[in-house]
Structure 1
């Protein structure tokens, strides 16, 4: 019993327009899932459709930092597709911002997307699953190795704290579901550096004086497809198996 048990089921992927989210969307389409890609750039999501894939793609314009936008997306899915069976919380932001003189708006953007947006999406997906009697649903957070270690460079503490929060929220969700007697599974994928559109943008204009980001192009990096394969692996396990965390780092990573 592998990922084929989710064929035809509905998966919502946030932050789906590029990078990790786009790779996950296409991987799930290849395995026959009905995939809803949510992103501010819905047109970019539409371009991810695969002609020969058995799955069907739907693109929704949505902003994970805006609760009303999230609720509207879940309502559309409920009204048009019946509900969410798999949620991939991929949307995330990672501006570097100092704890000494950082801007509140940068701190807020990190927490609104990485913590609150993720939590709202999770709540709505789980409530929808429970209301429909779905007992084999799955919630997967795309986390980071930053959620497992202290900040390793300056200007990264707020981002790291948001990813530590994701790790705690995942375990809290697991315990909440166990307390309800639900078999909905949860897990997270925690990568090191992944070469994405966001990473390329930072490499093109690195924060002044930041050695790590200044040499980003020379750092070993994963590709988005590596994370998509980890998500497929997690979904492919027998219902008795919950792969709680997959930590993936690029070969040669020094940090």
Structure 2
């Protein structure tokens, strides 16, 4: 998981911004991605994330340089790094037993409520012949439960009726709730059968020294940098 440190970007993008479509200097982003790739044990593959549920297999069958439109990816090929970019949404990394496969998913509330984590776990289980209980999942930094204010549309996305008590939605104003994104992800993963779930304890909004945050930075700067979480199978 990258942080803000270690790159060459300036201003709101300082310094290791990995997002290529946020308004940063393209040359700086290229250098930042080069540094990120050097730090990994595999070749990173970035996605064009759209808050959906599509999970693609890496490496891609089609031979082109365009980033695939998807919000999750998985691989059984050593040396290929599944990468998810975030700046408040939740990155979730998966590992099958014995290094048979890995996966990564982008879980904002829309994708999470639509089933992106279940789709990713299902694809990895089918590819590696394991059960959901054998998978391990790691939740990265995201907007925390003290900062994620949402409206009734988000509750509806998770099948929650306003006024009904729910452990992941705490009322904070008229028509507003504070949502626990990482907690919702844990619930979805556990319901799918995962037993080993770790992480999800860092808030991007509250830790401005380490993390980019779109919700925190957009009011003052119009945008924010992007971090990335990656997982790969080491080459033998």
Give the TM-score band, short-chain normalised.
0.3 to 0.5
Higher helix share: 1
Which structure has more RCO (C-alpha within 8 Å, separation ≥ 6)?
2
Higher strand share: 2
User: What's the TM-score once normalised by structure 2's chain length?
Assistant: 0.34
